Structure 1
Amino acid sequence: MSPLTVNPLKQDTLSHVKCILICLVVTLGSLQYGLDYALVGGFLSMPGFLKVFGYYDEAKATWAINPTVQQLISSLMTIGTFVGSLLVGPLSWKFGRRVGLWSASLLCYISTAIMLGSSSVGALYFARLLLGVSVGWFMTFAQLYVYETSPAHLRAISLGCYQVTLSIGSIIGSAIDKGTSTMESRRAYQIPLAIFFVVPTVLSICLFFFPESPRWLTVQGRTQDARKALSRLRNSNIDPAQLQAELATIEKSTEEQLNTKGKPAWIEMWRGTNLRRTLLSIAVVCFHSGNGSSWINIYTTYYFTIAGVKDAFSYSILVSCLGFLGVLTSVCFIRYVDRRQVLFWGCLACGLCQLVPAITWSVNPGSINSGKVVVAFIALFTFFYTMYAPYAWLLGGECPNNALRPFTFGVATAANFLFNWLGTFTAPYFINPAELNWSAKYGYIWFGSNMIIAAFVFFFVPETRDRTLEEIHEMFEARVPAREFKNYVCEKTGAFAAEGMGQAGSLHDDDSRSPSDGQEVNIESKA
């Protein structure tokens, strides 16, 4: 880890287990996103689903689905996530992170009930749109909570939980789809859809026992509540002086970041040093849609089917498992490798995984060997993508300041979903046999996109590993070039931490209470 960080907390993992577990539960919402990608992609190849929302192709003697219906089923959810993410800023500013997650759970209940009970395509469209808003809130509010509660040196691991649960959702979705895919009745898709009720129920109950984000509370001027929340997030064995130093850093830096209070956040995020932070956040988060993952995730099963791969559902499970392995690999070294390095090499690897199948399909389209190459490189793409994906989310949320984070990150997430929608909406025109029928040659487009992303990382993405959000703010305000972030010494943030340590020390000398008193009470008395 970087020796230059001024993070006052103990730089280990065991001292922060409670916070990591809380973050793990909060990020369960991302499991819904993984479920949706896997489940809906499988529905498009299920006779039980196609009999309700598709048509019977007399010429091919099989059930099929209209490309327009296929587009809308897949893309309306993405449009919903776009709308939901744009609403995160104002909703989060007023109500906080926990209320946002509860609202996401409520919308998930409503949309899933509509999909389960209706056989109308129009109702299905509406439910998909509503579910998209829910998923957008699950993902964005959960990540905001993780950014603002985790210790700096474990922020990457805590957010890695987000990608872990997303990958688990994909595996569960693919496995359930395989188990119900041969059913001829509506239960083929109703049984998988019922799984959408599980996570919102668990998360909604747990949120009653979790504190609100201390940084959000500080922005709202609720200083005492912020101190209590931070104390609840940290283990009891943390030195009170370290906790006091962290509190002082958050409070003083946030006070500085609020010097634009009164100006509309939607305008302020595009002014001064915030412009660089906003553009960088949007660009990095959009890596997820810019590398071609949207069409691969949505159309994996369908793509395998039209490529002539036997038992496409089993191969979809294999791909999901490799994605999960990629996330676990990332979590193992996420504390020890620079963000820039992982992003750069990850984008290059994803680009090659798009290029090789495209070349193979161009040389020998539709053959068994070409199909095997497609399966292998889609699996490899999924591994490399999920390995570097947490880093893109990390940087996207670390760049904005405390006051503007929900607005900036909400816009960045919305932009990502907008490009995801573009990818899922246009993909059928490229890969559907009834349209352009490019099949794997679609990868040529995404190879070029990945090369552009890699170049952007090299020249413009700063290194933020092990830095507190307050340190990152100081470096952006000082207009530090991207290549110099790694070795920059944050003197102002260090002074805030030292002042907090000094206050804790002087108060400790006057503290006449017995050592048996609880830490949280002790800290509150010193506040």
Structure 2
Amino acid sequence: MASKSPLTNQENVHVVPEKYDAEHTENILQDKTLIQEARLATEAEHNMTFLQAIKTYRKAVFWSVLVSMSIVMEGYDTTLIGSFFAYPSFRQKYGQYHGPEAGYQLSSQWQAGITDIGAVGNIIGALMNGYFTHKYGHRKVMMVALASMTGFLFITFFAPNIEVLLIGAFLCSIPWGVYATMGPAYAAEVCPLSLRGYLTAYVNLCWVIGQLLSAAVLRGLVNNQTQWGYRIPFAIQWIWPIPLFIGAWLCPDSPWWLVRANRLEDAERSLQRLTQKDANLDHKSAIALMVRTTEIEKEAECGTSYWDCFKGTNLRRTEIACVCFLGQVSNGGYFAYSPTYFFEQAGVSPTSAYGIALGGTGLAFIGTCCSWFIMSKFGRRDIFIVGFSILICCLLLIGILACVQQTKAIKWVQSVLCLIWLGSYSASVGPIIFTIVAEIGATQLRTKTVVLGRSTYYVGNIIGGVLEPYMMNPTKWNWKGKTAFFWAVTSFLTTLWAFFRLPETKDRTYEELDIMFLGKIPARKFFQEKLDGNEVNTSI
């Protein structure tokens, strides 16, 4: 029989004082008063409706949306660099002349180099965010990233040759990695349970908005043969940092981060700034829940380093974050996200195909908005599995159609299936991944868990970016539409993993998730598990 856990020992009564300091948290797990306060906060979280949460936490919504807006920059910037490879004025400036037929072209080596060095910079920026956010909080790290971005943009804007442009692209990609991992982590920590899913999924919408802006700017300047055809899109990036810097300077720190830093009075003040004064919210109970959750993780020997993400039950949580983010590559996005190839094969002009692809990005925007209504009705796990199942069906149909005699009508059907894939992905898998990853990590390791997941995505992106051209290129493997079969297999393997390993996190407080992970509850039983907050199995 297992020995009695110190988390269930309630013999030592410790009264929670009006003011907090370090000495009052030593025996917090045996504190009956604080346990009761945490239980009241948990009940309040579960009982708060969406409309009540919007009314009470509208300031938190504002600050979360503001911080996540930095991801618009990442969506804009990452799309911009890749799109420039086909820009006439850009190729004339940085490419080499290959005769009257080919004209100025950027070599495949330089294209791959700029793309891959950007992914390396993203990983470095994400890892730096995980390290420095733990020490200094979200606000300060965001402000440093924005200031750095402002300076690095001068390198890309004034780059006299391709070598300097490569350096500028690398340096700019470092703050992009910060933005991509900052938004979901901050949203998950400042918003209540009933808003958590919507505001973490909003991160995906910001990404799509950035892609839309980039596509619109490029479409408007594609016929500009002067240097401003590529310089203006670079210069537009300077619009974002200053207002976002001011917002980051004014926004409150995450109360969860302040609790982890043992600044409990500051945490209460931060919570007051995130909520309405007339809401009559019990801030002390909310802080008590944060303190108790943090102490449960400390009792389970949950550290704060990257190495701790791979120890004990945190390894399972890291696995979930990494595989979920990798799902944004294994789902076949490199193949199906843009149907331009099939439209061109069907005889549509390149300009029209580009316009249809731009419309596809608009479809992604609508799909992400629809995802908010879907996640209000269904769980994260169900959305993930059903969404992937729809993607697999689309990919299989595209692959099957590629095996028959090719006609213009078949190419149109394949193009439409790509658009269906895009809409389904944007309404399910795309946004729900950000929500799952933001929720799944232990509170002490939240940002680092998001960072490791996003870094896995960047590595997968590099691999997918290398494989896809080989599979599609007529001079290489020449799979064409049959490439869909490869991505259907990777999607199926991801879905199979999710069925056995992905738990349901909807409507669970972070304390409840800690208890279930510590109790080694199977993924398929998370949704039905009943908890009273008193029993924790600390064996890991």
Write the distance in 1 (CA, Å) between the matches of 2:103 and 2:483.
26
Task: Return the TM-score normalized by structure 2.
Answer: 0.84
Task: Give % identity.
Answer: 24
Asked whether 1:130 is paired with 2:171, we answer: yes
Distance 1:103 1:422, change over 3 A: farther
**Pairing of 1:338-357 with structure 2 (within 5 A):** 338-357=379-398
Give, in angstroms, the shift of residue 226 of structure 1: 0.9
Q: CA deviation at 1:252?
A: 1.5
The answer as to whether partners of 2:326 and 2:457 remain within 8 angstroms in 1 is: yes
Aligned to 2:33: none
For residues 189 and 112 of structure 1, the distance between their equivalents in structure 2, rounded to whole angstroms, comes to 13
- Structure-1 separation of matches of 2:170 and 2:346: 30
> Corresponding residue for 1:203?
244
Change over 3 Å in CA distance of 1:7–1:391 after alignment to 2: farther
Instruction: Give the superposition deviation at 1:260.
Output: 6.3
- Give 2:44's aligned residue: 8
Partner of 1:276: 316
Greater mean alpha carbon deviation, residues 377-386 or residues 93-102: 377-386
C-alpha contact 2:198 2:372 (8 A) present in aligned 1:
yes
Distance 1:128 1:361, change over 3 A: farther
Q: Is the 8 A contact 1:338 1:463 kept in 2?
A: yes
On the 8 A contact 1:19/1:149 being kept in 2, the answer is yes
When residues 351 and 72 of structure 1 are mapped into structure 2, their CA distance, relative to the original with a 3 A threshold, is farther
Structure possessing the higher relative contact order (Cα contacts under 8 Å, 6 or more residues apart): 1
Which position in structure 1 is the counterpart of 2:492? Answer: 451
1:26 paired with 2:67, answer: yes
Tell me how far 1:255 sits from its aligned partner: 2.0
Pick one of 260, 265, 271 that aligns with 2:305: 265
Describe the shift of the 1:262–1:470 C-alpha distance in structure 2 as closer, same or farther (beyond 3 A): closer
Q: Shift in Å at residue 390 of structure 1?
A: 1.9
| More displaced stretch, 211-220 vs 368-377 | 368-377
CA contact (8 A) 1:153 1:335 kept: no
Mapping of 1:57-68 within 5 angstroms?
57-58=98-99, 60-68=101-109
Give the superposition deviation at 1:140.
Answer: 0.6
Q: The residue matched to 1:227 in structure 2 has which SS?
A: helix
- Residues 207-222 of structure 1 aligned to structure 2 (within 5 Å): 207-222=248-263
Distance of 2:334 and 2:176 partners within structure 1: 15
- Provide the residue aligned with 1:79 in structure 2: 120
Distance 1:371 1:201, change over 3 A: farther
**Structure 1, unaligned runs of 5 or more:** 496-527
Pick from 280, 286, 311 the counterpart of residue 239 of structure 1. Answer: 280
Q: Counterpart in 2 of 1:176?
A: 217
The alpha-carbon distance between structure 1 residues 464 and 426, as it changes in their structure 2 partners (threshold 3 A), is same
Structure 1 residues 7 and 284 mapped into 2: Cα distance closer, same or farther (>3 Å)? farther
Residues 372-424 of structure 1, C-alpha deviation per residue, up to 9 Å, x if partnerless?
Answer: 34432332222222222221122112122111222222112111111112212
Alignment check: 8 A CA contact 1:50 1:64 kept? yes
Q: Deviations over 1:27-68 (max 9, x none)?
A: 101112221343234322221122123344437445443222
Q: Counterpart amino acid of 1:6?
A: T
Alignment-derived partner of residue 483 in structure 1: 524
Q: 1:56 to 1:113 in 2, by over 3 A?
A: same
d(CA) in 2 for partners of 1:273, 1:480:
11
Q: Offset at 1:493?
A: 6.9
| Displacement after TM superposition at 1:96 (Å) | 1.0
Q: Distance in 2 between matches of 1:73 and 1:373?
A: 34
CA gap 1:155/1:360 in 2 versus in 1, 3 angstroms: same
Given candidates 242, 245, 252, the residue that maps to 2:292 is 252
For residues 258 and 95 of structure 1, do their structure 2 counterparts lie closer, same or farther at Cα, with a shift above 3 Å needed? same
Deviation track 1:454-503 (CA, whole Å, cap 9, x = no partner) reads: 112212111111212222112111211111111222312799xxxxxxxx
* Superposed displacement of residue 128, structure 1: 1.8
8 Å CA contact 1:346–1:384 kept in 2: the answer is: yes
Change (3 A) 1:165 1:52: same
The alignment partner of 1:265 has SS state of coil
Query: What's the CA shift for 1:293?
Result: 2.0
Distance 2:380 2:247 in 1: 31
Please tell me the residue identity of whatever aligns with 2:124.
Answer: V
Q: Does 1:383 align with 2:419?
A: no
Confirm or deny that 1:329 pairs with 2:365.
no
Per-residue deviation, 1:306: 7.6
Partner of 1:509: none
Q: What is the TM-score when the length of structure 1 is the normalising length?
A: 0.86
Q: Deviations over 1:286-338 (max 9, x none)?
A: 211221224655x7768866876412321221111011011011012322211
Does residue 45 (structure 1) correspond to residue 86 (structure 2)? The answer is: yes
| Contact 1:463–1:482, Cα closer than 8 Å, also in 2 | yes
Name the counterpart of 1:152: 193
Q: Which segments of 5 or more consecutive residues in structure 2 lack a partner in the other structure?
A: 1-40
In the other structure, the counterpart of 1:96 is 137
For residue 42 of structure 2, what is the amino acid of its counterpart?
Answer: V
Indicate the larger mover: 40-49 or 323-332.
40-49
Aligned to 1:285: 325
Number of aligned residue pairs? 489
**What value does the CA root-mean-square deviation take over the aligned residues?**
2.6
Q: Is the 8 A contact 1:180 1:188 kept in 2?
A: yes
In the alignment, the residues of structure 1 paired with residue 433 and residue 170 of structure 2 have an alpha-carbon distance, to the nearest angstrom, of 26
Q: 1:56 to 1:296 in 2, by over 3 A?
A: farther
Moved more, 372-381 or 418-427: 372-381
Residue matched to 2:508:
467
SS at 1:363 equivalent? coil
Partner of 1:426: 467
Q: 1:97–1:142: 8 Å Cα contact kept in structure 2?
A: no
Q: Aligned-pair distance for 1:97?
A: 0.9
Find the counterpart in structure 2 of residue 405 from structure 1: 446
Contact 2:70–2:183 (CA<8 Å) still a contact in 1? yes
CA contact (8 A) 1:30 1:162 kept: yes
Q: Deviations over 1:2-31 (max 9, x none)?
A: xxx934143233322221121111110111
Structure 1 residue 86, shift from structure 2 partner: 2.0
Structure 1, 216-225 or 301-310: larger mean CA deviation: 301-310
- Partners of 1:39 and 1:291 in 2: CA distance: 23
AA partner of residue 517 (structure 2): F
Asked if the contact 1:54–1:63 (Cα under 8 Å) also holds between the matched residues in 2, the reply is yes
1:514 paired residue number: none
Q: Out of 328-337 and 367-376, give the one that drifted further.
A: 367-376
Q: Counterpart of 1:123 in structure 2: which amino acid?
A: V
**1:139 counterpart residue number:** 180
Amino acid of the structure 1 residue aligned with 2:49: Q
Specify whether residues 467 and 494 from structure 1 end up closer, same or farther in structure 2 by C-alpha distance, changes over 3 A only.
Answer: farther
Distance of 2:302 and 2:187 partners within structure 1? 27
CA distance 1:296–1:96, shift in 2 (3 Å): farther
Residue 344 of structure 1 contacts residue 457 of structure 1 at CA under 8 Å; is this kept in 2?
yes
Going from structure 1 to structure 2, the CA distance change for 1:208 and 1:122 (only over 3 Å counts) comes to same
Q: Which residue of 2 aligns with 1:523?
A: none
Q: 1:443 corresponds to which letter in structure 2? A: A
Q: How does 1:508-527 map to 2 (within 5 A)?
A: none
Secondary structure of 1:492's counterpart equals coil
